[in-house]
Homo-oligomer: A and B are copies of this chain.
Amino acid sequence: MSDPTRALSTSFLQKLHAIVGDAGLVQDEQAKAACDVDWLKKWQGVSSAVVRPANTAEVAAVMRLCHETRTPVVTQGGNTGMSGGATPDDSGAQLILSTTRLKQIREVDPLNNTVTVEAGVLLANVQSAADDVNRYFPLSLGSEGSCTIGGNLATNAGGIAVLRYGNTRDLVLGIEVVLPNGDIWNGLRALRKDNTGYSLRDLFIGSEGTLGVVTAAVLKLFPKPTTRLSAWLGCDDMDALLEVLARMRNDCGDRLVAFEMLTEDALALVLEHVTDVRRPLAGKHPYHALVELADTRDAELGSLLESVLEKAMEDGLVQDAAIGANLAQRQAFWKVREGISQAQVRAGKAIKHDIALPISSLPGFVDRAVDAVKQVKPDARVINFGHMGDGNLHFNVLVPLDTPDAELKSWIHALNRVVHDLVSASNGSISAEHGVGQLRRDELRHYKSETEFGLMMLIKQSLDPNQIMNPGKLI
């Protein structure tokens, strides 16, 4: 307790220790420090302590203690968030409750197509547990090797299979939650149909730790696809891409599992800054799409993809296309798509917008938004890519690495305002899949109607009257 900003009383620490023991209290200063900052090193906080309960009962005991002492609690999973939602403030008063020891896979039920896991299980381990019983858990995102399923639930994570399978919310049947007063709500129902009252489950999913601590969840499993095919398409404009998407959905039905878009600028950035990638098509095209089909049967998928693409090329919608039939070819395509994040980090400083619109509004929006950005910052580089099949764009603005932070700050607000105003005008979302956290809390307040914000406040106040759950985030 030599650090004056760590205002934890000795008696509180002793009580914590009595609950979780040596293994549950992070004593090492370096390990503590790693929890105080987000992985992007964008938000630096100072926690009072980091506690790692071993099971739900310990989480409940910790929360009872925090309730009695009015101690603010920041729940943290894999610490891979994009919006500072799991980083404490710098008051030294907030306790980090890490879920990393809640890592039991409690039950796998292949006949019910469900798996029951604790919050600290890595997403990749959920995927493997499904695979082990010849089933499929479709949630998939860049950080799947280090993010926890609890964090995925807290942010209602999206990813690359939403087009077919939905967001995290759509993959959850039941949850177990420790409430702000330490009570345990066991809502671990493994049911496809259950209409016994308000959907409390959906209230906690996506609430970013502001209403309680999710300690476990029952997740849906799906039939495992046995065939996958990818294709890379080059197109002249967004309208053509939109028409291709509509045709592919109609012709391929549920076989279409991903439809990712990137501009030539985004592709060029990857080719410039990422090693071991190559241009998927011979020529340049203003817009590119990476599509993926999957099926539980082998036959026909190739001929289906070929026929859809041939017709689209005949009709002038697609200028060029390449099919990735084997694993190496598919991985090469995805490496380009997934290289965008890394390329951005290397190429400059990015002002990111994680937005969603009605899919039919995307082409008009992009034209207007690029114009608006250029008016604020004529030399900015727009890196526009995203999950087009979900209407979700990562509409980012890149400036040179040597741009001083102070200068950057002077544009950020203006850039956010013009982009988010256009999103709002199209009835879109300013926070599609990366969470609100600290990053977009003020923006959310700016764009939410008084009525909607008022409803959210009513719920927050009734479930967390002492405001100890993740203060300063989301709401």
**A interface residues (Cβ-Cβ under 8 A, vs B):** 109-114, 134, 155-156, 158, 162-163, 166-167, 169-170, 179, 183-200, 202-203, 205-207, 211, 223-225, 242, 246, 249-254, 295-297, 299-300, 304, 356-361, 387, 389-392, 427-436, 444, 447-449, 451-453, 455-456, 458-463, 474-475
The answer to whether A451 and B205 touch across the interface, beta carbons within 8 angstroms, is: no
The answer to whether A246 and B111 touch across the interface, beta carbons within 8 angstroms, is: yes
Q: Which residues of B contact A434 (CB under 8 A)?
A: 195
A57 CB to closest chain B CB (Å) equals 15
Q: Which residues of B contact A463 (CB under 8 A)?
A: 455, 458
User: A207 to B455, alpha carbons, bound, how many Å?
Assistant: 15
7 contacts between A and B (CB under 8 A): A112-B358, A184-B451, A191-B428, A192-B392, A196-B448, A197-B452, A254-B296
User: A357 to B193, alpha carbons, bound, how many Å?
Assistant: 8
Q: Which residues of B contact A253 (CB under 8 A)?
A: 223, 225, 254, 295-297
Q: Which residues of B contact A451 (CB under 8 A)?
A: 179, 183-186
Which residue of the partner chain B has the closest CB to A296? Answer: B253
User: A297 to B255, alpha carbons, bound, how many Å?
Assistant: 11
Which among A186, A250, A435, A474 has the highest number of chain B CB atoms within 10 Å? A250
Which residue of the partner chain B has the closest CB to A427? Answer: B189
With contacts A203-B203, A300-B300, A461-B462 taken as known, whether A356 is within 8 angstroms of B198 at the C-beta atoms is: no
The answer to whether B448 and A197 touch across the interface, beta carbons within 8 angstroms, is: yes
The answer to whether B113 and A359 touch across the interface, beta carbons within 8 angstroms, is: yes
With contacts A196-B448, A223-B253 taken as known, whether A357 is within 8 angstroms of B191 at the C-beta atoms is: yes
Q: Which residues of B contact A184 (CB under 8 A)?
A: 451
Q: Determine which of B114, B193, B206, B357 lies in contact with A195 in the assembled complex, contact meaning CB atoms within 8 Å.
A: B206
The answer to whether B198 and A432 touch across the interface, beta carbons within 8 angstroms, is: no
User: A169 to B192, alpha carbons, bound, how many Å?
Assistant: 12
User: A25 to B449, alpha carbons, bound, how many Å?
Assistant: 32
A173 CB to closest chain B CB (Å) equals 9
Q: Which residues of B contact A114 (CB under 8 A)?
A: 358
The answer to whether B224 and A109 touch across the interface, beta carbons within 8 angstroms, is: no
A428 CB to closest chain B CB (Å) equals 7
The answer to whether A199 and B299 touch across the interface, beta carbons within 8 angstroms, is: no
The answer to whether B359 and A112 touch across the interface, beta carbons within 8 angstroms, is: yes
The answer to whether A196 and B444 touch across the interface, beta carbons within 8 angstroms, is: yes
The answer to whether B194 and A296 touch across the interface, beta carbons within 8 angstroms, is: no
With contacts A112-B359, A183-B451, A252-B296 taken as known, whether A431 is within 8 angstroms of B195 at the C-beta atoms is: yes
Q: Which residues of B contact A444 (CB under 8 A)?
A: 196-197
Given contacts A193-B433, A197-B475, list 12 more A-B pairs with CB under 8 A. A113-B249, A167-B192, A179-B455, A189-B429, A192-B391, A193-B432, A194-B429, A196-B447, A198-B206, A199-B205, A250-B296, A254-B296
